[in-house]
């Protein structure tokens, strides 16, 4: 049975983030959006505070804390609870936090013990400077269609030579290392895929343009270029032997099973923030006890938003819980990702319509305009809503023609 309640640790984590969000993050959020960056001094101070929050520090770490033998992990659920709360404060801040970020799951899940130690160790002490990791899958012609990646890799002596371009990579320009997916032969589809950790400063590895985005403007999104980039064979995740069968690729793809619930939780956080502003605006500006049909319609719209967000959150929790118990969760990860993106977009649309002009000019409600811009990408990255429905369909009806 899945317990949907928070542990004492998770509750304390969310309360700490909520307090910091209201009094520290939200007052600066709009200026970060306008300036397209979270100040590094703030990130340094926030990171130091997060280390004392117990669970919050783990949001940017790569290793899973030790647990009692026979007891299920709480890592995925704790990180997800913190991510939802941080996205409620400011989703761009959540994506900008120092640490391995979305690069952590593939290294943790597919890397050897030596690789995990080597690549995660740089995040253990950031007193000398902040560090980031990144995840490079998306290309100009392939993103949700993972089988379509065209970045190539070929073995040359003790190195792999990579050529191609990656786009829309969160923290790509500042990352100390990036997990890059490439193929030995595009004709092989998924069977030809390999995952590498490409370190900053590797010859042939460079940063292209920094994207000017509609939403999440304070989060860095970069293009990465690989031109005869020579990566040592020790940086092939899992080692060459692990790709002799489909297990190597499948292990790398399990990244999505961990990251999709995390991204879905962030969408829930943005949706909850928008819902709360819309709800409070109605409470402050409408006399809901009056029998006016329009008021009843507004109340029904808010109830529908709340219902959908609650359902999406429970799907997120189930997917994370299955992962913590070591059980397959691919279908559930896609379900929560599809549901959360749609529910949160609807929440932002309703909030901006309910608040009207106040949603774009008032200091209190102005946030809904930002969230309206931020939320769209949550139905796109880590696999579009359409792709999630394909994944779900394939698991409900394996072998279904056309999938």
* pLDDT bracket for residue 292 (50, 70, 90): confident
Q: Provide the angle, in degrees to the nearest 10, between the axes of the packed helices 330-355 and 385-396.
A: 140
C-alpha to C-alpha distance for 30 and 315, rounded to whole angstroms: 30
Q: Please identify every residue annotated as catalytic.
A: 382
Neighbours of 160 (CB within 10 A): 23
pLDDT digits (tens, 9 = 90+) for 184-193: 998 887 788 8
| Those residues with Cβ within 8 angstroms of residue 180's Cβ, 6 or more apart along the chain or in another chain | 136, 151, 162, 166, 195, 196, 197, 198, 224, 226
Distances (CA, A) of 317 to 113, 260, 347: 28, 12, 20
CA distance 142 to 102: 18
Instruction: State pLDDT tens for residues 157-167.
Output: 999 999 999 99
Per-residue model confidence as pLDDT tens digits over 68-107: 545 678 888 998 999 999 999 999 999 999 999 889 888 9
95, burial (CB in 10 Å: exposed 0-12, middle 13-18, buried 19+): buried
When pLDDT is averaged across residues 271-282 and rounded to a whole number, the result is 94
Task: Please state the φ and ψ torsions of residue 144, each to the nearest 5 degrees.
Answer: -65, -35
Task: Of 211, 320, 316, 194, give the one whose Cα is nearest residue 246.
Answer: 194
1.20.140.10, 3.40.50.1000, 3.40.50.720, 3.90.1300.10: CATH of 252-396: 1.20.140.10
Question: Distance between the two ends of the chain, CA-based, in angstroms?
Answer: 32
The CATH number corresponding to 8-102 among 1.10.150, 1.10.1740, 2.30.29, 1.10.540 equals 1.10.540
The yes or no reply on domain 106-112+128-244 and CATH 2.40.110.10 is: yes
For the chain, which residues make up each domain, given as ranges?
Answer: 8-102, 106-112+128-244, 252-396
Q: Model confidence over 15-43: pLDDT tens digits? A: 999 999 999 999 999 999 999 999 999 99
The pTM of the full predicted model, rounded to 2 decimals, is: 0.89
- Across 190-217, average pLDDT: 94
Q: Identify the DSSP state of 122.
A: G
Whether 252-396 and 8-102 are alike in CATH topology: the answer is no
How large a percentage of the chain has pLDDT more than 70?
Answer: 88
Condensed to tens digits (0 to 9), the pLDDT of residues 37-60 reads 999 999 998 888 877 665 444 454
Give one DSSP letter per residue of 333-390, joined into a string: HHHHHHHHHHHHHHHHHHHHHHHTTHHHH-TTTTHHHHHHHHHGGGGTTTS-HHHHHH
Tell me which of 223 and 242 has the higher pLDDT.
Answer: 223
Q: Are 158 and 232 in contact (CB under 8 A)?
A: yes
- Model confidence at 312, pLDDT cuts 50, 70, 90, reads very high
Nearest to 180 by CA among 212, 204, 157: 204
């Amino acid at each position: 049975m899945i317990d949907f309640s928070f542990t004492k640790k998770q509750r304390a984590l969310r309360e700490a983030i909520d307090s910091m969000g209201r009094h520290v993050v939200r007052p600066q959020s709009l200026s970060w959006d306008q300036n397209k960056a979270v100040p590094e001094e703030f990130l340094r101070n926030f990171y130091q505070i997060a280390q004392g929050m117990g669970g919050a520090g783990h949001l940017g770490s790569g290793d899973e804390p030790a647990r009692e033998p026979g007891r299920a992990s709480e890592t995925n659920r704790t990180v997800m609870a913190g991510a939802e709360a941080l996205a409620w404060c400011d989703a761009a801040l959540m994506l900008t936090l120092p640490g391995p970020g979305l690069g952590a799951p593939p290294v943790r899940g597919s890397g050897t013990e030596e690789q995990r130690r080597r690549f995660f160790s740089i995040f253990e002490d950031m007193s000398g400077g902040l560090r980031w990791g990144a995840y490079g899958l998306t290309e100009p012609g392939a993103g949700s269609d993972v089988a379509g990646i065209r970045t190539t890799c070929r073995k040359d002596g003790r190195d792999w030579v990579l050529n191609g371009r990656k786009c829309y990579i969160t923290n790509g320009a500042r990352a100390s290392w990036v997990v890059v997916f490439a193929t030995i032969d595009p004709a092989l589809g998924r069977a030809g895929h390999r995952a590498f950790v490409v370190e900053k400063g590797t010859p042939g590895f460079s940063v292209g343009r920094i994207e000017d985005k509609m939403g999440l403007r304070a989060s860095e999104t970069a293009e990465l270029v690989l031109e005869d980039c020579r990566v040592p064979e020790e940086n092939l995740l899992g080692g060459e032997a692990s790709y002799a069968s489909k297990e190597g690729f499948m292990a790398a793809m399990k990244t999505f099973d961990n990251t999709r619930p995390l991204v879905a939780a962030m969408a829930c956080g943005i949706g909850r923030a928008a819902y709360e502003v819309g709800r409070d605006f109605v409470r402050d500006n409408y006399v809901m006890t009056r029998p006016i049909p329009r008021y009843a319609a507004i109340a029904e719209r808010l109830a529908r938003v709340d219902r959908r967000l609650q359902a999406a959150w429970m799907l997120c929790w189930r997917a994370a819980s299955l992962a913590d118990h070591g059980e397959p969760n691919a279908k559930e990860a896609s379900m929560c990702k599809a549901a959360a993106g749609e529910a949160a977009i609807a929440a932002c649309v309703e909030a901006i319509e309910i608040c009207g002009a106040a949603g774009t000019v008032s200091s209190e409600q102005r946030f809904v305009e930002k969230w309206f811009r931020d939320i769209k990408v949550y139905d796109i990255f880590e696999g579009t809503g359409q792709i999630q429905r394909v994944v779900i369909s394939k698991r409900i009806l394996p072998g279904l023609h056309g999938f």
